[in-house]
Amino acid sequence: MNQFSTDVINLGRTPERFDGLVNTPVFRGSTIVVNSFSEWEEFKRNGGVYRHYGRFGAATAKSFESAINALEGGAGSMVFPSGLSACTHALMACVEANSHVLIADNIYGPTRNFADNILARMGVSVEYFDSTNLEALTEKINHRTSVVFIESPGSMTFELSDVAAISAISHQYGAKVLVDNSWATPLLFQPLKHGADISIQSITKYIGGHSDILMGVATANAETYEQLTKTGHLFGETTSPDDIYLASRGLRSLAVRLKQHQNSALTIAQFLTTHPAVKEVLHPALETSPYHDLWLRDFDGSSGVFAFYLKESKPSYVQKFFDSLKLFHIGLSWGGFESLILPVGQAYRTHTNLPKDGYLVRLNIGLESVVDLQKDLEYALKCAEQMLVESVI
């Protein structure tokens, strides 16, 4: 992560272009006028006049995209109005009717819903596979496969996939590899360097970092960039310059925030590992994780989202646990400064066997004092355990 600490400060900033202002300002605008007829005709010759229109993004967008692209090591990035929008447009850029897509069983739920509803309706055959098992991929991939879409780690159960091996297999069949990289951010993992074709970020999460924007970005390699941006533009996708400004502001503190998220999450994960009410902790950076070796090989650190199974899944016990927390609030999303907890129960899977007993809980470890966070969990677990003892008596 350290290699990027300076980059996140400087990338995408050009004060000399903006009267010395440290940050690229918010540029609003639809129309971009030209000075003369000949300039207009020149635009026509060089890629078309329609490039010179607000929908394609002004300096605010371009500064941010260039920073993300440099971090991901791509040929170019494109911002989208949400993380989901980045996922769906990246998919749309790579599929055609009668093609086949393979999607990891642990993919973000709404991405799955898009594939099952929209892609399927357009005549794309959608199939799921266990992306931690290369044999499952080789069994299902074929010459009609246009996309293999994975998320590593999955954002509910935190299994890692071997992006390099999956990319090598997929490319033999001419399929594009899309990776939802929101958990790691480009600071901890760069999918394109491991062979993927498009890396996707939900900016809403760590890069935004403050739970105040919805935004996404997709970064492509040289062979895929034009395909990605053309599709996004044909759909008329635009992203608010105000949101992009906030995303750029988030990026400046990303390295220090991630360091704190990482350390606190590891402390809490270790604490939970030793707690008698906890069945299992799902965090790839724990030595006990089956994905630990892969994590060491590919990642430069870990972030602050992970999950664990409570041994007990009795509804009254689970409710007592959640309602006894004071610092962790129940809510969707993650990557912000505030700690969150999500009652999952059982993650939805169709091609993977998950434990049937226990109750899955996802944590977003925020930037509060880790001592306070641990105390909060400890207290809530104690309340739930006490209730269990009392109800048995």
Ligand X SMILES: *Cc1c(COP(=O)(O)O)cnc(C)c1O
Instruction: Tell me if 161 sits within 8 A of 152, measured CB to CB.
Output: yes
Give the E-state strand segments of 168-318 in sequence order: 176-180, 198-202, 216-220, 278-282, 305-310
Between 89 and 108, how does the x/- string for binding to ligand X read (CB under 6 A)?
A: -------------------x
For the bound state, the minimum distance from the C-beta of residue 334 to ligand X, rounded and expressed in Å, comes to 7
> Using CB under 6 A, which of 8, 93, 214, 360 touches ligand X?
214
**Catalytic residue list contains 245:** no
**Catalytic residue list contains 180:** yes
For the bound state, the minimum distance from the C-beta of residue 202 to ligand X, rounded and expressed in Å, comes to 3
Residue-by-residue DSSP string for 116-134: IIIIHHTT-EEEEE-TT-H
* Dihedral class, residue 57 (left if φ above 0, else alpha if ψ from -120 to 50, else beta): left
Q: Assess 202 for contact with ligand X (CB under 6 A).
A: yes
Instruction: Tell me if 147 sits within 8 A of 196, measured CB to CB.
Output: no
What is d(CA 66, CA 359) in angstroms, rounded to the nearest whole number? 42
Q: Report the residue number, 83 or 366, with the smaller CB distance to ligand X.
A: 83
Q: Which two tokens stand for residue 286?
A: 């724990």
Instruction: Tell me if 66 sits within 8 A of 12, measured CB to CB.
Output: yes
Catalytic residue among 13, 105, 108, 359: 108
Stretch that binds ligand X, among 40-48, 64-72, 197-205, 249-257 (CB under 6 A): 197-205
Instruction: Tell me if 60 sits within 8 A of 241, measured CB to CB.
Output: yes
Q: Which of 326, 335, 339 is nearest to 370 (CA)?
A: 339
Contacts (CB under 6 A) with ligand X, residues 99-158: 108, 151, 155
Q: Assess 216 for contact with ligand X (CB under 6 A).
A: yes
For the bound state, the minimum distance from the C-beta of residue 380 to ligand X, rounded and expressed in Å, comes to 24
Stretch that binds ligand X, among 14-22, 37-45, 200-208, 346-354 (CB under 6 A): 200-208
Between 33 and 72, how does the x/- string for binding to ligand X read (CB under 6 A)?
A: ----------------------------------------
- Look at the alpha carbons of 110, 233, 123, 162 in this order and tell me if their dihedral is positive or negative: negative
Q: Please identify which residue in the block is written with the tokens 């040289």.
A: 222
> Using CB under 6 A, which of 152, 182, 211, 238 touches ligand X?
182
**How many residues line the site for ligand X (CB under 6 A)?**
15
> Using CB under 6 A, which of 60, 63, 204, 238 touches ligand X?
204
Q: Please identify which residue in the block is written with the tokens 């996404």.
A: 216
Q: Report the residue number, 215 or 285, with the smaller CB distance to ligand X.
A: 215
Q: Assess 84 for contact with ligand X (CB under 6 A).
A: yes
Stretch that binds ligand X, among 92-100, 199-207, 256-264, 349-357 (CB under 6 A): 199-207
Stretch that binds ligand X, among 55-63, 79-87, 125-133, 186-194 (CB under 6 A): 79-87
Contacts (CB under 6 A) with ligand X, residues 306-365: 333
Give the E-state strand segments of the chain in sequence order: 76-80, 100-104, 125-129, 145-151, 176-180, 198-202, 216-220, 278-282, 305-310, 329-330, 340-345, 359-364
Q: What is the number of residues in the chain?
A: 393
Catalytic residue among 105, 130, 162, 180: 180
Instruction: Tell me if 200 sits within 8 A of 186, measured CB to CB.
Output: no
Q: Assess 185 for contact with ligand X (CB under 6 A).
A: no
Q: Please identify which residue in the block is written with the tokens 């940050």.
A: 23
Q: Which of 294, 52, 72, 27 is nearest to 164 (CA)?
A: 294
Q: Assess 180 for contact with ligand X (CB under 6 A).
A: yes
Catalytic residue among 55, 297, 326, 375: 55
Catalytic residue among 112, 176, 205, 362: 205
Q: Report the residue number, 59 or 192, with the smaller CB distance to ligand X.
A: 192
- Interface residues with ligand X (CB under 6 A) are 82-84, 87, 108, 151, 155, 180, 182, 202, 204-205, 214, 216, 333
The residues assigned a catalytic role are 55, 108, 180, 205
